[in-house]
Structure 1
Amino acid sequence: MAKPRLDLGSVDDLNLAGAKEWWVRLYREPAPSLSLQLLKFGIAYRIQIRAAGISEPKMPRRQRDRGRGKPIPRNLAPGTRLVRDWHGVGHVVTVVDNGFEYEGRHWSSLTAIARAITGGKWSGPRFFGLPA
């Protein structure tokens, strides 16, 4: 019997358990600890990649360059979302014009957010996977 297929129009109907199941099917790894909406975004992305006939998305040049020791520019446009899983909990930070928004509060630095999440001293850019 064939596995059921998920189309783009059905992604909105998924509950958390269904989204995690489809994540495993599409990404071949356990679902990260993110909100249902972010999991749905990732599922929809993978469905579109497959529909376009792309087997593996190409790694962006900035990620390739990171491995070569080249600095990556850190110009984060407002609206950019930074996502980090910390001890099984998903954290999402949104870049705004004059800083960052996290858990409904305005923050002036990523380092302050990283310290609030971890309870320890962290470089905010490093915590969120950006160049120092």
Structure 2
Amino acid sequence: MGRQRYLNLARLAKLPGEELKAEWARRYSAPAPGLSPDLLRLGIGYKLQEVKLGGVSRGTRTLLRQVAARAGEGEKGKPLPRKLTPGTRLVRDWRGVGHTVIVLEDGFEYDGKHWKSLTAIAKAITGTPWNGPLFFGLTARKKKA
């Protein structure tokens, strides 16, 4: 049994699909979900960075606890606020292709271009009108009465 080569972000970018699934299973101790290779790479890359730089911040852990508690209580009130700070990455898998948007001070970056709204990006991805925050999972769809 040979030594496994050290995995870094550069090597991760070149891994084929089956190796990505095996690496996911090794790092998450669970089978890889049915995601695109791009999203599997992002998840594995996060784990690599988490080992080197540490996990999520205290504020993020608090927000996650609040969300979990609200879900357990079945609370349907106002959604928790989501602050999009510059540098935040929004990731969406659309028809098997991973799409990443970076929040900027004055808009968003997607596909190497500057965009003023998430709605314009969602339309560019899908070809149809979409509410951008809804498309990227920042808001919930309103239920009809």
Partner of residue 101, structure 2: 93
**Count of equivalent residues:** 120
Consecutive unaligned residues of structure 2, counting only runs of 5 or more, are 56-60, 141-145
Consecutive unaligned residues of structure 1, counting only runs of 5 or more, are none
Query: What amino acid is the match of 2:33?
Result: P
Q: For 1:1-80, list aligned pairs within 5 A.
A: 10-12=6-8, 13-14=11-12, 15-17=14-16, 18-25=19-26, 26=28, 27-30=30-33, 32-33=35-36, 34=38, 38-44=42-48, 48=51, 60-64=64-68, 65=70, 68-69=75-76, 70-80=78-88
Moved more, 13-22 or 75-84: 13-22
TM-score, normalization by structure 2 = 0.65
Q: Give the CA RMSD over aligned residues.
A: 3.3
1:13-72 per-position Cα deviation (integer Å, ceiling 9, x unaligned)? 3432223321144341336221675244134268x4xxx9xxxx9981353236632412
Q: Which has the higher contact order (CA 8 A, sep 6+)?
A: 1
TM-score, normalization by structure 1 = 0.71
Q: Secondary structure at the match of 2:79?
A: coil
* Consecutive aligned runs of 4 or more in structure 1 exceeding 4 Å deviation: none
